[in-house]
Homo-oligomer: A and B are copies of this chain.
Amino acid sequence: MITAAVEASFDACEDERLRTVLQSLVRHLHAFAIDVGLTEAEWRAGIDALTESGRITDEHRQEFVLWSDALGVSMLVDALAHPTPSGATESTVLGPFWADGSPLREYGEAIFDSAEGEPAWVYGQVLGLGGGPIAGAELDVWQNDANELYGVQDDDAPEAHLRGRFRTRDHGGYAFLGVRPVPYRIPNDGPVGAMLAASGRHPWRPAHIHLVVSAPGYETLTTHVFDSASAYLDSDAVFAVKPSLLRDFVWSDADGRWSVENDIVLAPL
């Protein structure tokens, strides 16, 4: 049988972990093809979708990550890497819009020069599992504007639009001025979008702000703040919603802006 022959071709692989991963990949790929009786036309459609995904991928667009997200593989890998939370803030997907080199900003600074969205004050404390504040933790944050777009998607936006890095102060506090995020469609003009449309799935994600939080001696946390009033919380196109990550955005007439409190608890290394 062909599957056994392919598995055996990896028997001489000296890297035991690589051998395990490749042999398992072969077993599961073959089991998939056999289970559905994959036809030559379907195989060709798969090759074409991968080829087109490669063609559309560049420094601002990552269609392969999008496949992983839309098929729930990203959240599964996240769950495998970060098992049962022990009181620490839960993780969720990084997504395709993180960009390297966001500017380091001051406590309370805005992450935009001008923005379409309604201003939102995001604040809280970064804490250890015992509740003690973590000073000098770094938060890398990014979010979309009211036009649905992230800065990296928007040719008209400045380089660092709606993203930035912040350091917590002595008592673990952080704050920045963002905007209230809005639901948005994952890029759906490529093969992933075609798959969603053909299978009756929508491309929407509920409104959220991304955070990667890191501090010496702690596990780096990749997570979101979800707007608890958003649409699509029960049908996120990338399966990233966890109830513990929902937060209320509160309007203040006096300040003329929303505010959202979001404490973050990091697990020790």
Residues of A within 8 A of B (CB): 2-3, 5-6, 9-10, 12-15, 18-22, 24-40, 42-43, 47, 50-51, 53-55, 57, 62, 64-65, 68, 71-81, 195, 198-201, 235, 239
Contact = CB atoms under 8 A, between A and B. Distances in A.
B201 A81 contact: no
A199 B76 contact: no
Given A13-B199, A39-B80, A51-B57, 12 more contacts: A2-B76, A5-B239, A6-B239, A15-B198, A18-B198, A18-B199, A22-B195, A24-B35, A28-B32, A29-B71, A47-B62, A55-B57
A2 B79 CA distance: 9
Within the oligomer, what is the number of copies of this chain?
A: 2
B62 A14 contact: no
Contacts of A13: 198-201
| Interface SS of chain A | helix
Contacts of A31: 28
A49 to B, nearest CB: 9
A20 B14 CA distance: 37
Given A25-B32, A55-B54, A80 B37 contact: yes
B38 A72 contact: no
B80 A34 contact: yes
A24 to B, nearest CB: 5
A29 B80 contact: no
B9 A80 contact: no
25 contacts: A3-B72, A6-B72, A9-B235, A12-B200, A21-B36, A22-B199, A24-B35, A24-B36, A26-B71, A28-B31, A29-B32, A29-B71, A29-B73, A30-B72, A30-B73, A33-B73, A33-B76, A38-B77, A39-B77, A40-B81, A47-B62, A51-B54, A51-B62, A51-B64, A54-B54
B43 A77 contact: yes
A27 B114 CA distance: 45
Contact of A201 (B10, B29, B80): B10
Contact of A50 (B3, B64, B78): B64
A64 B245 CA distance: 38
Contact of A2 (B30, B75, B199): B75
Contacts of A74: 43
Contacts of A200: 10, 12-14
